[in-house]
Amino acid sequence: MSEILQLKRKATEIRMELLKMIYESGAGHTGGSLSITDILTVLYYKIMNIDPTNPTWEHRDRYVQSKGHAVESYWAILADKGFFQKEELKTFSQYNSRLIGHPNNKVPGVEMNTGALGHGLSISVGMALAAKMDGKSYKVYTLMGDGEQAEGSVWEGAMAASQYKLDNLVAIIDRNNLQITGNTEDVMSIEPLGSKWRSFGWEVVEVDGNDIEQLVHTFSKLPQTVGKPTMVIANTVKGKGISIAENQVGWHHRVPTKEEYELAVEELSQQLEVLV
């Protein structure tokens, strides 16, 4: 089996796991977690230099999920990679669980608590700047939502990253065009998105964020330009992989019914059967 096919299978398995977490817990952000699954799969199973047996290894690449509410795919991947036992996924969003609805750095593999949107990029700028000052070679990756681009702190971080020439910093925007209250261009228009980031001194790459092969090709060639931070605008489908949820704003924060869950599991199972 080719590496790309293996990654596609893994992404589908992660989708099944995160959907199970949401259904059984009765809570979660379904649409955005599904849209970012391919991105996280490529980062964690192909690109990032990490060691689950030593989560605080000083030379590890850092990942900050600024889009903290889409945590279900993140938890599923950290468990699958061995940062903690998979059995703990059953406690998602339960009383006294470490696996709450946003990233929590009591969990091995999580660099920073995130939840309030707009903070992840500035945190990542600090991490990337520290690496430069300390002469370390690790990279810092951060994933933001497209609705999050309305936060002013995002653009403060953007200016700082360019100012300090942080070519060890990679930011990703999950460009699925939907946020909790509607289409991003209706709620708070962010286009022309690529031009805005270029004007802030970033190298910008646009990809299909649900195409595993494109993602591998793009992330394997970073940084795009020495002396510049890189912005990857990942065009995705909200609810990707489950037809009843795809491009539906109502699935931003929604738990599937029993019937919907069974239909989704069947659909993902069929996808796995093809990926052999």
Q: What pTM did the predictor assign? A: 0.97
Tell me, what's the pLDDT at 178? 92
pLDDT of residue 224: 80
Amino acid 7 reads: L
44, 81 contact by CB (below 8 A): yes
**Rounded to whole angstroms, how far apart are CA atoms 42 and 60?**
16
Residue 203 bridge partners (DSSP): 230
Report d(CA 100, CA 72) in Å as an integer. Answer: 9
| Structural domain boundaries, residue 62 | 3-274
pLDDT the model gives residue 195: 98
Mean pLDDT taken over the chain: 97
Number of domains the chain is built from:
1
Contacts of 11 (CB under 8 A, 6+ apart): 37, 38, 41, 212
Q: How confident is the model at residue 276, as a pLDDT?
A: 86
Q: pLDDT at position 115, please?
A: 86
The predicted structure's pLDDT at residue 270:
96
The stretches in the chain having pLDDT less than 50 are: none
Residue 92 CA to residue 79 CA, distance in Å, equals 12
Q: Provide the CATH number for the domain around residue 95.
A: 3.40.50.970
Dihedral over Cα of 62, 67, 69, 75: its sign: negative
Do the Cβ atoms of 183 and 210 come closer than 8 Å? no
Q: Are 174 and 207 in contact (CB under 8 A)?
A: no
